[in-house]
Amino acid sequence: MRVERKQSVVLVPFLLQGHLTPMLQLGSILHSQGFSVIVAHTQHNAPNYTNHPQFVFHSMDDGLQGIDMSFPSLENIYDLNENCKAPLRNYLVSMMEEEEEEEGDQLACIVYDNVMLFVDDVATQLRLPSIVLRTYSAAYLHSMLTILQQPEKYFPFEDSQLLDPLPELHPLRFKDIPITTVNNTVQAPLLEFSRSMCDVGSSVATIWNTMQDLENSLLLRLQEHYKVPFFPIGPFHKMVPVASSTSILQEDNSCIDWLDRQAPDSVLYVSLGSLVRIDDKELIETAWGLANSEQPFLWVIRPGSVYGFQCAEALPDGYEEMVGERGRIVKWAPQKQVLAHPAVAGFFTHCGWNSTLESILEEVPLICRPFLADQPVNARYLSQIYKAGFELEAIERTVIDKTIRKLMLSEEGKDVKKRVVDMKQNIVAAMQIDGTSHKNLNDLVDFISALPSRLAPPTPVVEQS
Ligand code: UDP
């Protein structure tokens, strides 16, 4: 407990699982440092309040009732931003009134996910300090920023260039560009949104779910661009004093009993996260790749994750009977528990940042099958720079089978395992009392505690006569 006067922090997460989880984890970290924590969330994907009795929750009317937000479009995201503006503003005003009457805690700042762009406007209007949360790697933001500074250097490109290196962005190739393209070019609205997301507006600092020990040079390069202080205090899921479930979907815990029956270091865990969708052809190739590899596997097939199908009914007829006890398929797993299980030896992943950190911290090497956004960047760093995993070269059963065997059975597989163990040790060092994440957290607490309760009004621009 480092804060003497009770100060509160309002957190505004974005509704996707991969964004909600780190924000709630950050809430737990800040709460353990003596702040009271208020989570102002959208109605879609509201967190489970009972898992976080230490927080106050405030539900904002997002105005998107009846809209499928499992894979939000740009339009959905802008609507969400517009619709949440008044609810957040009104809520903060009422908090400020209570504070003036000395009834509530002192509102120290707002921490928001950088997809919730509107928070910057609201905070500026009310002259409240705000801080941006980056839920992804510095490598991803660095690549975005570089591309956004000179998009004409990157777009449009030819199919023949897909494997060519990107200028100034080693180890990325055109194929790994983290902005969704249409006909190998980027659409203007997406470019504009990406710029806003990378921007810090009038925020006074940035919190990162990453570690200096892993990404120091990239953080330093980014720091030259952003003038506000950075606080890399990851990995959040290990920095939290007490872990509580942040899952939106119901976890199927029965797979832990199945893992208990498997030999140590024998199982491949397969999951593509909360957002990615695949076609039935990819599902079938993956199914045969897993079966032919003859390795035990635990496979998450999320409902709605295969285009045109509800769930696992796109699998070949009789598939589950054929693999029998050697394979287990679930709709959603308690992933952190799975990765920590002694039976798990590898992770076939889409390389979302949370999954990446969770895997490394449990010393589990990866097979990288990225799709979009930060995933291709993470996959390239994991396979080419950190050498903590293998990239899947093609979505074909023979290649999948071969890559699984390479990870689980070969000398090369042992090498990547060693690299992951080393990476984990460095990250654990960052979390120790004299480590960088620990120190940065202390600095963050001091920084928030010392923030002025209201920012000075902007200096009026004087017209030159
Ligand atoms: N996750 C889970 N169970 C699953 C699959 C994923 O609990 O069956 C969690 C996982 O632990 C991680 C999050 O969902 O914390 C996914 O976040 P990530 O950044 O890896 O990918 P995204 O879902 O955003 O693409």
0.95 cut: is pTM over it? yes
Q: Is the pLDDT of residue 458 over 80?
A: no
Q: Is the pLDDT of residue 4 over 60?
A: no
One domain for residues 411 and 327: yes
Q: Is 445 in the pocket of ligand 1 (CB under 6 A)?
A: no
One domain for residues 297 and 362: yes
- Residue 348 to residue 371: CA distance in whole angstroms: 13
Predicted pLDDT of residue 104: 75
- Please check whether residue 165 lies inside any domain of the structure: no
Q: Which residues contact 140 (CB under 8 A, 6 or more apart)?
A: 178, 353, 373, 374, 377, 378
One domain for residues 15 and 100: yes
* pLDDT, tens only, 116-174: 999 999 999 999 999 999 999 999 999 999 999 999 999 999 999 999 999 899 999 99
One domain for residues 228 and 268: no
- Please check whether residue 462 lies inside any domain of the structure: no
One domain for residues 420 and 437: no
- Please check whether residue 241 lies inside any domain of the structure: yes
Contact 416, 408 (CB under 8 A): no
Q: Is 332 in the pocket of ligand 1 (CB under 6 A)?
A: yes
- Please check whether residue 185 lies inside any domain of the structure: no
Q: Is the pLDDT of residue 387 over 80?
A: yes
Predicted pLDDT of residue 220: 98
Å from CA of 229 to ligand 1 middle = 28
Q: Is 358 in the pocket of ligand 1 (CB under 6 A)?
A: yes
Q: Is 278 in the pocket of ligand 1 (CB under 6 A)?
A: no
One domain for residues 292 and 414: yes
- Please check whether residue 14 lies inside any domain of the structure: yes
Backbone CA torsion sign across 411, 414, 420, 421: negative
Which of 274, 278, 305, 341 gets mutated to test ligand 1 (max ligand atoms within 8 A of its CB)? Answer: 274
Å from CA of 234 to ligand 1 middle = 16
Q: Is the pLDDT of residue 28 over 60?
A: yes
Q: For residue 51, what are the domain limits?
A: 7-154+191-245+433-449
One domain for residues 300 and 263: yes
One domain for residues 238 and 330: no
Å from CA of 343 to ligand 1 middle = 20
The total domain count for the chain is 2
- Please check whether residue 73 lies inside any domain of the structure: yes
The CA–CA distances, whole Å, from 411 to 405, 408, 415 equal 10, 9, 6
Å from CA of 273 to ligand 1 middle = 4
One domain for residues 128 and 230: yes
183-188 long-range contacts (CB < 8 A, ≥24 apart) are 183/156, 184/155, 184/156, 184/157, 184/158, 184/159, 185/155, 185/156, 185/157, 186/151, 186/155
Residue with CA at minimum distance from ligand 1 atom 17 = 18
- Please check whether residue 170 lies inside any domain of the structure: no
- Please check whether residue 439 lies inside any domain of the structure: yes
